[in-house]
């Protein structure tokens, strides 16, 4: 009996290190696939089109919305961000686990469509650490950093709607924690409805012999 993959939604404060953590997870474990989002924001230095994001104009993005090509989308600090639908559906069906690294409005839209989705929130250990990490990145102006902090406060208020919170104090520990969390979530009864139904059918077949 082939099991479908599970859908993991990861959100976190700006500067939580979630991007780095996700890339490491994909590198180390064979069953995870990271969804590449579409966005209208400008690429940061070192970011590649098709790898970090599909970079789109507003017109192109709105066309994707109209054609129903996005599983969810949201506006974040003045730009659109959205998850291409086809990749997620095809990859789950192939048995791989899909990770979406998206903000909370998108996360809740995904949860409304896929009730089994597992929602994980990553946080640095303190707000000072959030600020320092954003400052160190050096790619955002003070004004954008402030907007991201204001948004951070909003995010802190909705964390209780997630299934898990993981504090990124030490990168290695955090990667291990997330992997273990996903692995145990995979064994939850609500992820295994199809398997259980198949077992019941097999019992019936055996008993009717
Ligand atoms: P950044 O500009 O720092 O790469 O991302 C800004 C925010 O947008 C992050 O919180 C990130 O998780 C979120 N984000 C990235 N892709 C998507 C997406 O496809 N949908 C939604 N709703 N949010 C996304």
Q: How confident is the model at residue 117 (pLDDT cuts 50, 70, 90)?
A: very high
**82 CA to middle of ligand 1, Å?**
8
Confidence (pLDDT) at 140: 81
Per the structure block, which two tokens stand in for 144?
């954008």
103 in ligand 1 pocket by Cβ < 6 Å? Answer: yes
Per-residue pLDDT, 1: 64
Spatial CA neighbour of 124 closest among 152, 103, 145, 157? 152
Q: Is the pLDDT of residue 158 over 80?
A: yes
Assess whether pLDDT exceeds 80 at residue 2.
no
4 or 32, which is more confident: 32
CA atoms within 13 A on the CB side of 51: 6
Residue 53 CA, closest ligand 1 atom number: 16
**Does residue 121 line the site of ligand 1, with CB under 6 A?**
no
Closest ligand 1 atom to 10 CA: 12
Q: Residue 136: pLDDT above 90?
A: no
Strand, helix or coil for residue 55: strand
107-117: b or e for each residue (b if 16 or more CB lie within 10 Å)? bbbbbeebeeb
pTM: 0.89
What is the token pair recorded at 7?
């859908």
Q: Compute, in angstroms, the gap from residue 78 CA to the centroid of ligand 1.
A: 12
Ligand 1 midpoint to CA 46 (Å): 17
Q: Write out pLDDT tens, residues 24-63.
A: 999 999 999 999 999 999 999 999 999 999 999 999 999 9
- Give the pair of three-digit tokens for residue 62: 């709105």
Position 137 confidence tier, pLDDT thresholds 50, 70, 90: confident
């Amino acid at each position: 009996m082939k099991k479908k993959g599970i859908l993991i939604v990861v959100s976190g404060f700006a500067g939580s290190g979630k991007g780095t953590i996700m890339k490491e997870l994909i590198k180390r474990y064979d069953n995870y696939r990271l969804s590449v989002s579409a966005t209208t924001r400008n690429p940061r230095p070192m970011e590649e089109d098709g790898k970090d994001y599909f970079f789109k104009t507003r017109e192109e993005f709105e066309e994707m919305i109209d054609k129903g090509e996005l599983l969810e989308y949201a506006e974040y600090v003045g730009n659109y961000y959205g998850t291409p639908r086809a990749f997620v559906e095809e990859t789950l069906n192939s048995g791989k686990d899909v990770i979406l690294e998206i903000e909370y409005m998108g996360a809740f839209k995904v949860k409304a469509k896929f009730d089994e989705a597992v929602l994980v929130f990553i946080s640095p250990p303190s707000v000072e650490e959030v600020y320092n990490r954003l400052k160190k990145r050096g790619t955002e102006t003070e004004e954008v950093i402030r907007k991201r902090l204001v948004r951070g406060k909003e995010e802190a208020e909705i964390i209780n709607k997630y299934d898990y919170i993981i504090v990124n104090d030490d990168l290695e520990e955090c990667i291990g924690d997330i992997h273990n969390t996903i692995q145990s979530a995979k064994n939850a009864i609500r992820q295994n409805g199809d398997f259980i139904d198949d077992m019941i059918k097999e019992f019936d077949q055996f008993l009717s012999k």
